[in-house]
């Protein structure tokens, strides 16, 4: 049920952008039990001027290689599951793509299950627990 938006610089080739999406999906399946085939992603590559970031925040130094990952998910996951998700995504991107851990920015948005329609104008999760 997640909708994932990934924003990164055009300095990365399209193949890396797709690999980031694949890694995020894999880790979401492993860490927060995302169902098979539930891979809805919007991946956008931007000119450097379109990514407005501070040089640092909370003691973390950013580069032009920053990658923003925002996932809208349904309510119900514990803080520990979310921590494991953040760490899992970051570790996999660092290991698989040699990205800087400082440049992995992740944001989760939680919504009620009735806020999803996967097509046909239906509210598929409204009656599911």
* pLDDT at position 123: 86
**pLDDT band, very low/low/confident/very high, at 85 (cuts 50, 70, 90):** very high
- Nearest of 79, 80, 81 to residue 28 by alpha carbon: 81
Catalytic residue among 2, 13, 35, 101: 2
Each residue's pLDDT tens digit, 100-127: 999 999 999 999 888 888 898 888 887 6
Report phi then psi at 40, rounded to 5: -110, 110
Tell me, yes or no, if 2 is annotated catalytic.
yes
Q: What is the mean pLDDT of residues 53-57?
A: 96
Domain contains 36: yes
* pLDDT at position 41: 98
Its domain, for residue 63, covers 3-115
The CATH number of residue 78's host domain is 3.30.429.10
Each residue's pLDDT tens digit, 31-50: 999 999 999 999 999 998 99
Percent of the chain with pLDDT over 90: 83
Domain contains 41: yes
- In the numeric block, which tokens belong to residue 59? 């003691």
Average pLDDT for the chain: 94
Domain contains 28: yes
Domain count, the chain: 1
Q: What is the mean pLDDT of residues 77-81?
A: 96
The CA distance from 61 to 42, in Å, is 26
Domain contains 43: yes
């Amino acid at each position: 049920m997640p909708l994932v938006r990934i924003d990164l610089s055009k300095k990365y080739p399209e193949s890396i952008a797709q690999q980031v999406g694949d890694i995020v999906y894999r880790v979401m399946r492993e860490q927060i039990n995302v169902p098979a085939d539930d891979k809805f992603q919007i991946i956008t590559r931007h000119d450097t001027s379109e990514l407005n970031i501070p040089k640092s925040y909370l003691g973390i130094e950013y580069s032009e290689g920053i990658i923003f990952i925002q996932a809208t998910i349904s309510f119900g996951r514990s803080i520990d599951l979310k921590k494991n998700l953040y760490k899992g995504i970051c570790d996999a991107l660092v290991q698989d793509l040699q990205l800087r851990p400082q440049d992995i920015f992740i944001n989760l948005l939680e919504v009620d299950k009735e806020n999803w329609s996967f097509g046909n104008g239906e509210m598929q999760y409204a009656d599911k627990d």
